[in-house]
Amino acid sequence: MTSKEVTQIAPNHLAIIMDGNGRWAQGKGKPRVFGHKAGMDALQNTAIHAQNRGVKVLTVYAFSTENWKRPAPEVKFIMSLPIDFYEKFVPTLNRENIRIAMIGTRQGVPKATLKSIDRAMVDTANNTGMILNIALNYGGQAEILDAVKSLISDVQAEQVTLADITSEVFENHLTTAILPTAYRNPDLLIRTSGEHRLSNFLPWQTAYSELYFTETLWPDFDEKALDLALEVYAQRDRRYGGIKK
Ligand code: FPP
């Protein structure tokens, strides 16, 4: 399949669990953080390829609310990556017309990390191409609970009635409400490194996503690996619970 054909059937919203950085580094006899650094380069390349293939939103799992359990130096290193990423890559993202967005809880994230993400969001705010949405300090179950709490408080304030609460209204209370309405839920979710689970990533939003698992470790994920995933996706038959026409 050529790149042009892939473009025509590309997922609008692609979500990626970038897994395997630690194993990649350890396999090379290097410290785990070496893998995270290589993972950052893979992210930049994948963002550019994904946009070239027609993806409108790319959401990546950079740090989960469960990742705080890792050794403090590793957490510190991952939290420093956005600073590095934006310093190095914002000019490229601007050249590529890519806009940065973030989902996840700001509370607990170091100030310097937030500052550089905020700066990147401001610096790329006028870009009209793909949205690179970074899930940082993100946890899907907490996101759903927060949405429930916020809806309950709207009901208590008599701003909405129970009868008003539809899936669409609920989705307006999720963190992905910052995305264009048509592209809020991933069409395709990729997880690298051979693990077959979602790990609390976008549990509501992936209800009808196509899932693609590859043995490739994230730092090795390249244009060819992305094209293969898109090719498999293009052959999937999405029925959303209906039947084939
Ligand atoms: C999972 O691999 C990866 C992470 C928890 C961190 C991912 C972060 C990046 C790729 C860089 C993000 C860049 C920005 C701009 C925020 P793992 O450490 O769980 O690997 P393992 O399963 O082999 O141990």
What lies within 8 Å, CB to CB, of 121 at 6+ separation is 99, 100, 101, 102
Question: Which pLDDT score is estimated for 237?
Answer: 83
Per residue in 77-127, pLDDT (tens digit) is: 999 998 998 888 999 999 999 999 999 999 999 999 999 999 999 999 999
Q: What angle separates helix 223-234 from helix 32-52, to the nearest 10 degrees?
A: 50
Q: How many CB atoms lie within 10 A of CB 232?
A: 14
Burial class of residue 22, CB neighbours in 10 A (0-12, 13-18, 19+): buried
| Pocket residue to mutate for ligand 1, from 23, 28, 32, 36, most atoms within 8 A of Cβ | 36
User: What pLDDT sits at residue 114?
Assistant: 96
Domain boundaries along the sequence of the chain: 3-139+187-234
Pick the CATH number of 3-139+187-234 from 3.40.1180.10, 3.90.1150.10, 3.30.420.240, 2.40.160.40: 3.40.1180.10
Q: Is 19 noted as a catalytic residue in this protein? A: yes
| 130, 43 contact by CB (below 8 A) | no
The question of whether 146 is a catalytic residue gets the answer no
- Check 67, 133, 137, 185 and give the catalytic one: 67
Per-residue pLDDT reduced to its tens digit, 159-186 = 999 999 999 999 999 999 999 999 999 9
First-to-last C-alpha distance (Å) of the chain: 25
Distance CA 240, CA 82 (A): 36
Instruction: Tell me, using a 6 A CB cutoff, whether residue 100 lines ligand 1.
Output: no
pTM given for the model = 0.94
Mean pLDDT of the chain: 94
Span 34-91, pLDDT tens digits: 999 999 999 999 999 999 999 999 999 999 999 999 999 999 999 999 899 888 899 9
